[in-house]
Amino acid sequence: MLTTTIRAHAKINLSLDVLYRRVDGYHELESIMQSLALHDLVTLTANPDAEVRTLNPTQLIRVTVDNPEVPSDEENIAFNAAKILMRRSGNYMPLQIAIAKNIPVEAGLAGGSSNAAAVLWGLNQLWKLGLTPAELGEIGQKIGADVPFCLQGGTALVGGIGEKVTSVPSKCKDFGVILVKPTFGISTAEVYRSLDLKKVVHPNTLEILDAVVAGDLAGICANLGNVLESVTLPQYQTLVEIKEALLQAGAQGVLQTGSGPTIFGLTSDLEQAQGIAKKLEGKYPTVIATTFWGKGQETA
């Protein structure tokens, strides 16, 4: 048996700008993404000695998840990642993927994308494929927009539809983060369909970038921006209330991550984040205190 367990880290968007709608129907993005200490555990177990009578990955791959909200069939993008890499490498063998979820589901935190990235990253090691980060990123972008970033992790400037990932040197590793997710989910596709780029206020990505490089929390908080809030905040008063509650509880800056519905608050350290989280527990169904993290995937 071959086995490995990977920590698959969540992410937030410190900025999310949509520059224009492309001719292919996708949107050209510009975002600063940040990995979090919060992570799922993805365990891969392959049996290279098993007798195999099929070259159909669907019959060889099995996914188990400890959260009933997450599919365990081909609708799970971690399953899809394994299928693509199995076909590409020719390693047709029974493969078990066990996912222990800590990242909230459908939250804008890239939980699914991070799981898919963990499968690509882990199988590349387990099967000794020798794929470069660039090659893994090319595979990842075919699976999901956030997968290339989740493969690299840390702090990065992300462009295109998510495939352009440029690592950013950061002094922000100890900053605290409070994540607050309401009961409802939000359709990413619907948010983008409703986005009116003529009415949005674009974030100053360069200002945030400078603040991140300098480790300037005040500068980051002063320039946080996500154009998708122009769609979600008018539609969901709860998100406005969460942002206000985080600020009143002591967060120095607040923003929606991705297309939502999770709102995050920033503090100077984990202890402050934990104190704010305690104030909000019970008021909202999901409240998590965590920190910035320097990696997207790592062996557990």
What gap in Å lies between CA 8 and CA 115, rounded to an integer?
Answer: 6
Which residues are part of the catalytic machinery?
11, 146
Q: Name every residue whose Cβ is closer than 8 Å to that of residue 25 and which is 6 or more positions away in sequence.
A: none
From residue 256, alpha-carbon distances to 14, 68, 88, 93, 266 in Å are 9, 25, 37, 41, 12
Could you give the angle at which helices 270-280 and 237-249 cross, rounded to 10 degrees?
130
- Amino acid letter for position 6: I
Q: Is 72 exposed, middle or buried (0-12, 13-18, 19+ CB in 10 A)?
A: middle
What gap in Å lies between CA 270 and CA 178, rounded to an integer?
Answer: 9
Q: Name every residue whose Cβ is closer than 8 Å to that of residue 2 and which is 6 or more positions away in sequence.
A: 44, 45, 46, 47, 48, 126, 127
96 φ/ψ angles, rounded to the nearest 5 degrees: -105, 130
What gap in Å lies between CA 18 and CA 8, rounded to an integer?
Answer: 26
Q: Name every residue whose Cβ is closer than 8 Å to that of residue 113 and which is 6 or more positions away in sequence.
A: 77, 143, 144, 145, 146, 147, 149, 150
